[in-house]
């Protein structure tokens, strides 16, 4: 691997998921592409975050692409956390990612952080 390559960067077409505890919240940071091929990684991370019994923040700032599969996974996670009495907040992603939430009307339904 070249020395200037970030080992935590997602491979092309892949997704990197970083899960860490920050006070009362679990941060799930995504980088790369969230789609049918990678959604299982997010689902596993969200299950672990929900099991931690804390609020969850999904950070989309380093996400370059998200399709409807990724959107559905985030909505389902929101609903599951809500039923468990936990909260989900989302750090806004770049324009093309955020546009998916706008077009579906979910930007009004979910909690976003700048």
Residues 7-20: tens digit of each pLDDT: 444 455 799 999 99
Quickly name the fold that domain 15-113 has. Answer: Transcription Regulator spoIIAA (3.30.750)
State the SS3 of 37-79. CCHHHHHHHHHHHHHCCCEEEEEEEEEEEECHHHHHHHHHHHH
Which of 49, 50, 43 shows the shortest CA–CA distance to 69? 43
pLDDT score, position 12: 59
Report residue 53's pLDDT band, with 50, 70 and 90 as the boundaries: confident
Report residue 76's pLDDT band, with 50, 70 and 90 as the boundaries: very high
Residues 19-33: tens digit of each pLDDT: 999 998 999 999 999
pLDDT score, position 36: 96
What ranges do the domains of the chain cover?
15-113
Mean pLDDT of the chain: 90
**38: Cβ–Cβ under 8 A, 6 or more apart, which residues?**
14, 15, 32, 70
Residue in this structure with the two tokens 């468990």, named with its chain if needed? 84
- Determine the Cα–Cα distance for residues 102 and 38; give it in Å rounded to an integer: 22
Is the predicted pLDDT of residue 5 greater than 50, yes or no?
no
């Amino acid at each position: 691997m070249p020395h200037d390559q970030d080992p935590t960067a997602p491979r092309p077409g892949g997704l990197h998921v970083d899960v860490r505890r920050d006070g009362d919240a679990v941060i799930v940071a995504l980088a790369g592409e969230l789609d049918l091929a990678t959604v299982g990684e997010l689902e596993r991370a969200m299950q672990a975050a929900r099991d931690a019994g804390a609020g969850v923040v999904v950070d989309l700032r380093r996400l370059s692409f998200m399709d409807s599969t990724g959107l559905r996974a985030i909505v389902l996670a929101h609903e599951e956390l809500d039923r468990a009495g936990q909260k989900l907040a989302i750090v806004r992603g770049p324009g093309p990612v955020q546009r998916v939430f706008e077009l579906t009307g979910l930007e009004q339904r979910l909690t976003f952080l700048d």
